[in-house]
Amino acid sequence: MSLDEIKIGGMGASRRRVEDNRFIRGKGNYVDDVVLPGMLHMEILRSPVAHARIRSIDVSKAWEIPGVRLVLTGDMMATRNLAWMPTLSYDTQAVLATDKVRFQGQEVAAVIADDPYIAKDACEAIVVDYETLPVIVNPDQAMASGAALIRDDKENQPDNKVFDWEVGDRSATDKAFEEADVVSEIDLHYPRSHPSPLEPCGSIADFDRSTGKLTVYMTTQAPHIIRAAVALVAELPEHMIRIISPDLGGGFGNKVPVYPGYVISILASILTERPVKWIEDKTGNLISTGFGRDVYLKGQMAVRKDGKILGVRMHTISDHGAFFSDAQPSKFKIGLMHSAFACYDIPAAHLTAEGYYTNKAPGGVAYRCSFRVTEAMFFQERMIQAAADDLGMDQAEFRRVNLVRDDDFPHRTPFGFLTDSGQYGKCLDVALEAIGYEQFLKDQEEARKNGRYLGIGISTMTEPLGAGNSREYDILGIKMFDSAELRVHMTGKAILRTGAKTQGQGHETTWAQIVAHELGIPADDVVVEEGDTDTAPFGMGTYASRSTPVAGAAVAMVARKIRAKSRKIAAHLLEVSEEDIEWELGRFYVRSSPDRGVTIQECAMAAYSNMPDGMEPGLENTAYYDPPNLTWPFAAYVATVEVDPETGVWDVLRMVAVDDCGVRINPMIVEGQIMGGLTEAYAMASMQFITFDAEGNCVGSNYMDYLLPTAWETPGFELHEVVTPCPHHPIGAKGIGECATVGGPAAFVNAVMNAVEHLGVRNIDMPLLPDRVHEAIATRSDISGAPPVRTDAP
């Protein structure tokens, strides 16, 4: 009798989470919860100015404070070759400033003391003499002739440009534009934003001189990458480095890069011969760590009068702050920006990209998205809306004309990706049906007569998840496969370890469900571990969505290897040949007499006590999975809003999300991911931003200024699903963690723009704060750029 898959917590079960048991009791084990004997505490002194030469640093008063054990400056780091470190994008980044500071908040000195209060006292006692230099706060300033040179530390860096990049077919695209009936244009700024997980970054470095082993507890989404980076930077042997990423209070991409604080804490431990704990405060996190977005997106769409899109041009200008430390595949300088328009059948496209240094925090990171995909999809859907408007065509109809049809797969996207499956039209239909599209348009017209501004916004997209195949994807040369190791004990219980790293996605719960699905071992019988490089197989970690596509696949593959060996054991136990064995969930049986069978647990016991001749005992294996392709989840998001023209305040009336992430391992967790992503989308559309004044002072370096929506502002969400299994993924799953963050913002922005389009307003750049919306309405003009930090101008 086959087991009931849902009952054993297999795939499709909304299994309640294993990790909750400790979190609801306050027994999580986050980095700041870890206490090691003799531990010291580290605080970092940060630069108050954005661009300045350091004339001198006087640390004498800091040393005098009782309880101070060590004070580190850039010069001291330099004697050990640690003042600079390589970034994940083949650039270098200052660990502690030596010659100059290049952004407000840059690390200048560090104090290690008996407690963090004393360390802070000592930081305050350090005197730094800065000679300020001209400040560059945006790419326009960076590219201007005669602009101050930010990276004068680099050879062969004559200006502030980081890269030029290009993809697509320029001549085919030019031709498409010549043939167009309508050319639409749009010019957007995706403001600098920050993943800002609730838990800031930190590390506890513990170098044991007697064994030569370095153990570092660290808030990292990618412990194995960190181990490799530390081996490189600190020149310690890889096998003597152990990175432990315990519970993480969120990540969203922010906890991928190597931060100076980690490196300094490691050196501090080596020098003091004590464990050294560094926990940054929220300001440190917001002002200096991996931000997201900050891209100018300009483009045009060539359209035929019947609504067919002939071609699209994109030009992006990205702001990388003071150091190019993007965590992204080395081949793609602007990440996967060229995944834009993947869901539409567009014959020609061309993209050019430039990147610049500025006096701002370095980066960025893929903030809850595959590298740059949020920007790509935002641009895509804003461009689509603009083109539909210019053409005078209904938003939904325009999309229907151009969405790739269900039977058009495999499909080559405008910039050359290969998508394998999709039901984009159905997704849109479900969304429009749920929101009551036709009725809403009628209501909108009626409301407008009464001076009320209602709006509806659509966002449809497919995006690449699960980077990525080794032919195309690597970070610093390391290929982006992932791994799973499964060991089944003699009583049929198991331990699973993967190279991914959960930060709230529930891997301890969901990976066990895949094992249950493949082997019929109840999920409750499988314990899942991640994050310790001494025990976990090598993986590139979890950024925003690659886990299910890559590590999840590895889990399925390793479980299948276990099943294959178990089949041989079953044949031995049942005294038949392997060809006579059939499998049903949890059990092998003899095809010709199905009553004769053995459970998977019996096979496990036999692996230790009754092996077939010549078979290696034990029941365990490892799988490394190199994904054959990216997976392509898709979605349709529709938002309705009402805008108060008197104040510019807008409220979300409804938000409908239709997601296809293939086979859903745990529907409850999938929905949780979507709602979290939609909230990020709402936050970015409505209030979240980081900006700078002319002196490079950061606005948005604490939660007073960096606005996250509370339960009060955040709207409710209505979720629907379409299921198109991924054809190449072992369990047909795609990723889901980031989709709503990627596709959501455009739905909200399109809705507000739709509410005010009758006034001739075409674009308001995010965040759509009330004053910006109001200004657009009052002046009937577009609002571009991030909120300015004006002073005293009326």
Partner 1 sequence: MTSLFEEITETSVDIPVRRVTITVNGEKRSANVEPRLLLAHLLRQGFNLTGTHTGCDTTNCGACTVLVDGRPAKSCTMLAVQADGHDVMTVEGLASASELDPIQEGFKEEHGLQCGYCTPGMMLTAKALLEENPDPTEDEIRWALSGNLCRCTGYQNIVKSVLWAAEKMRNSAG
Partner 2 sequence: MYPSRFRYESPTSIDEAIALLEEGKGEAKVLAGGQSLVPMLKLRFASPDLLVDINNIADLDYHRFDADGSLHIGALCRHEHLEKSSEINSRQPTIAAAAPLVADPIVRTRGTFVGSVCHADPQGDWASCMVALDGHIVAQGPNGRRNIPVRSFVSGPFQNVLAYNELAVEAVIPAPQGTALGGYMKLERRVGDFATAAVAVAVDMSGGKVTRAGIALTGVGGTTVDASDAAAALVGGSLDEASIAQAAELAASVAQPRSDHRGSATYKRHIINTFTARLLGSIAESHERAA
List residues near partner 1 by CB under 8 A.
16-17, 19-28, 30, 32-33, 35, 66-67, 114, 117-118, 196-200, 247-250, 252, 281-283, 503-506, 668-669, 671-672, 675-680, 702-704, 708, 710-712, 714, 716-717
Q: Which residue lies nearer to partner 2 by CB, 425 or 770?
A: 770
Q: To the nearest 10°, the Cα dihedral for 36, 38, 41, 42? A: -100
- Shortest distance, position 729 Cβ to partner 2, whole Å: 39
Beta bridge partners of 185: 300
**CA-CA distance, 512 to 492, in Å (whole number)?**
13
Q: Which residue lies nearer to partner 2 by CB, 610 or 647?
A: 647
| Contact string 246-285 vs partner 2 (x = CB under 8 A) | -----------------------------------x----
Residue 789 binding: pick among partner 2, partner 1, none (C-beta 5-8 Å cut-off by kind): partner 2
Binding to partner 2 (CB under 8 A): which residues in 318-377? none
**CA-CA distance, 785 to 787, in Å (whole number)?**
7
Q: Which residue lies nearer to partner 2 by CB, 116 or 725?
A: 116
* Catalytic residue chosen out of the listed positions 102, 192, 368, 762: 368
* Catalytic residue chosen out of the listed positions 93, 104, 106, 221: 221
Residue 716 binding: pick among partner 2, partner 1, none (C-beta 5-8 Å cut-off by kind): partner 1
Residue 198 binding: pick among partner 1, partner 2, none (C-beta 5-8 Å cut-off by kind): partner 1
The closest alpha carbon to 316, from 331, 346, 336, belongs to: 336
* Prior bond of 767 cis (ω within 30°): yes
Supply the DSSP string of 647-707, one letter for each residue.
T--EEEEEEEEEEE-BS-S-HHHHHHHHHHHHHHHHHHHHT--BEE-TT--EE-SSTTTS-
- Shortest distance, position 303 Cβ to partner 1, whole Å: 36
Q: Look up residue 786 and give its two tokens.
A: 């991030």
Does the annotation mark 221 as catalytic?
yes
The closest alpha carbon to 417, from 507, 493, 320, 349, belongs to: 349
* Catalytic residue chosen out of the listed positions 201, 369, 603, 698: 369
Choose, by CB under 8 A, the member of 446, 705, 723, 780 that binds partner 2.
Answer: 705
Q: Which residue lies nearer to partner 1 by CB, 256 or 573?
A: 256
Q: Which residue lies nearer to partner 1 by CB, 16 or 154?
A: 16
Choose, by CB under 8 A, the member of 474, 713, 721, 757 that binds partner 2.
Answer: 713
* Catalytic residue chosen out of the listed positions 427, 738, 762, 772: 738
> Burial level of 595, CB count in 10 A (0-12/13-18/19+)?
exposed
- Shortest distance, position 693 Cβ to partner 2, whole Å: 9
CA dist list (Å): 507 to 538, 548, 734, 760, 761:
16, 9, 15, 48, 45
| Contact string 60-99 vs partner 2 (x = CB under 8 A) | ----------------------------------------
Residue 441 binding: pick among partner 2, partner 1, none (C-beta 5-8 Å cut-off by kind): none
784 binds partner 2 (CB under 8 A): no
Residue in the structure block whose two tokens are 């101008």: 793
- Shortest distance, position 531 Cβ to partner 1, whole Å: 13
**CA-CA distance, 735 to 630, in Å (whole number)?**
10
Write phi, then psi, for 721 (nearest 5 degrees). Answer: -135, 150
- Shortest distance, position 194 Cβ to partner 1, whole Å: 11
Contact yes or no for 782/763 (Cβ under 8 A): yes
**CA-CA distance, 254 to 367, in Å (whole number)?**
7
707 binds partner 2 (CB under 8 A): yes
The half-sphere exposure of 236 on its side-chain side, counting CA atoms within 13 A, is 26
Q: Which residue lies nearer to partner 1 by CB, 36 or 231?
A: 36
Beta bridge partners of 646: none
Q: Which residue lies nearer to partner 2 by CB, 197 or 307?
A: 197
- Shortest distance, position 34 Cβ to partner 1, whole Å: 9
Contact yes or no for 747/727 (Cβ under 8 A): no
Residue 121 binding: pick among partner 2, partner 1, none (C-beta 5-8 Å cut-off by kind): partner 2
Contact yes or no for 349/313 (Cβ under 8 A): yes
- Shortest distance, position 257 Cβ to partner 1, whole Å: 18
Q: Where are the beta strands (DSSP E) in 16-87?
A: 40-46, 52-58, 68-73, 84-86
Choose, by CB under 8 A, the member of 270, 675, 699, 719 that binds partner 2.
Answer: 699
- Shortest distance, position 451 Cβ to partner 2, whole Å: 14
**CA-CA distance, 193 to 737, in Å (whole number)?**
18
CA dist list (Å): 216 to 45, 415, 483:
22, 42, 22
Residue in the structure block whose two tokens are 């838990």: 199
Choose, by CB under 8 A, the member of 709, 720, 757, 782 that binds partner 2.
Answer: 709
- Shortest distance, position 704 Cβ to partner 1, whole Å: 5
Q: To the nearest 10°, the Cα dihedral for 258, 264, 265, 270? A: 120
770 binds partner 2 (CB under 8 A): yes
The answer for residues whose C-beta is within 8 angstroms of residue 459's C-beta and 6 or more apart is 377, 381, 635, 636, 637, 638, 743, 744, 745, 746, 747, 750
Q: Which residue lies nearer to partner 2 by CB, 490 or 649?
A: 649
- Shortest distance, position 153 Cβ to partner 1, whole Å: 31
Residue 492 binding: pick among partner 2, partner 1, none (C-beta 5-8 Å cut-off by kind): none
Does the annotation mark 427 as catalytic?
no
Q: Which residue lies nearer to partner 1 by CB, 503 or 686?
A: 503
Residue 56 binding: pick among partner 2, partner 1, none (C-beta 5-8 Å cut-off by kind): none
Total number of residues shown for the chain: 794
Q: Which residue lies nearer to partner 2 by CB, 582 or 644?
A: 644
Residue 675 binding: pick among partner 1, partner 2, none (C-beta 5-8 Å cut-off by kind): partner 1
| Contact string 97-136 vs partner 2 (x = CB under 8 A) | -------------------xx--xx--x------------
Task: Find the part of the chain contacting partner 2 (CB under 8 A) among 400-408, 436-444, 647-655, 659-667.
Answer: 647-655
Q: Where are the beta strands (DSSP E) in 33-160?
A: 40-46, 52-58, 68-73, 84-86, 92-94, 100-101, 107-113, 127-132
Contact yes or no for 692/752 (Cβ under 8 A): no
Beta bridge partners of 53: 100, 131
397 binds partner 2 (CB under 8 A): no
716 binds partner 2 (CB under 8 A): no
Q: Which residue lies nearer to partner 2 by CB, 694 or 723?
A: 694
**CA-CA distance, 371 to 334, in Å (whole number)?**
8
Residue 175 binding: pick among partner 1, partner 2, none (C-beta 5-8 Å cut-off by kind): none
**CA-CA distance, 449 to 577, in Å (whole number)?**
79
Residue 358 binding: pick among partner 1, partner 2, none (C-beta 5-8 Å cut-off by kind): none
Choose, by CB under 8 A, the member of 441, 687, 719, 759 that binds partner 2.
Answer: 687
**CA-CA distance, 567 to 581, in Å (whole number)?**
7
Q: Which residue lies nearer to partner 1 by CB, 338 or 546?
A: 546
Does the annotation mark 53 as catalytic?
no
Does the annotation mark 368 as catalytic?
yes
Contact yes or no for 461/381 (Cβ under 8 A): yes
792 binds partner 2 (CB under 8 A): yes
Cα 516 from chain centroid?
28
Q: Which residues does the annotation mark as catalytic?
A: 221, 368-369, 738
Q: What is the contact surface with partner 2 in residues (CB under 8 A)?
A: 116-117, 120-121, 124, 281, 646-649, 687, 691, 699, 704-705, 707-710, 712-713, 769-771, 774-775, 778, 787-794
